């Protein structure tokens, strides 16, 4: 059984930084497409950043240059470093994954992912 567990969400002031973690179990990192999504109150879930095992990556324009996704295969973990946070970054952040590389160019779409975590809340407020 594949499990994804997010952590690291917190309250932070505008301009601050946070690093989210997603630990996995039962997931194969031989071929992967893995990413971070978020859902703000009253809004649809949106893709933030994603990366595949062959080096393909995607980023939403709203976070480009501020957020960085990384993978530590030895730790079976994925991270999202978030800098220069803004109030509009407030959301529940989800880690999601699939082993189907055909979806690597669609990895910012929720429908591309097979496995999901339960989310971690990030609040950006003064």
pLDDT tens sequence across 39-80: 999 999 999 999 999 989 999 999 999 999 999 999 999 999
Q: In which region does residue 55 sit, left (phi positive, over 0), alpha (psi from -120 to 50) or beta (all else)?
A: left
pLDDT value of residue 26: 94
pLDDT value of residue 102: 87
């Amino acid at each position: 059984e594949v499990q994804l567990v997010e952590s690291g969400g917190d309250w932070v002031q505008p301009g601050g930084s946070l690093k989210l973690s997603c630990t996995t179990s039962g997931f194969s990192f031989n071929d992967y497409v893995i990413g971070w999504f978020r859902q703000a109150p009253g809004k649809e879930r949106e893709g933030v950043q994603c990366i595949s095992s062959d080096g393909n990556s995607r980023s939403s324009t709203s976070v480009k240059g501020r957020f960085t996704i990384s993978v530590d295969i030895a730790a079976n973990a994925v991270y999202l470093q978030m800098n220069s946070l803004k109030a509009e970054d407030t959301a529940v952040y989800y880690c999601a994954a699939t082993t189907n590389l055909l979806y690597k160019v669609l990895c910012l779409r929720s429908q591309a992912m097979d496995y999901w975590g339960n989310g971690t809340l990030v609040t950006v407020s003064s």
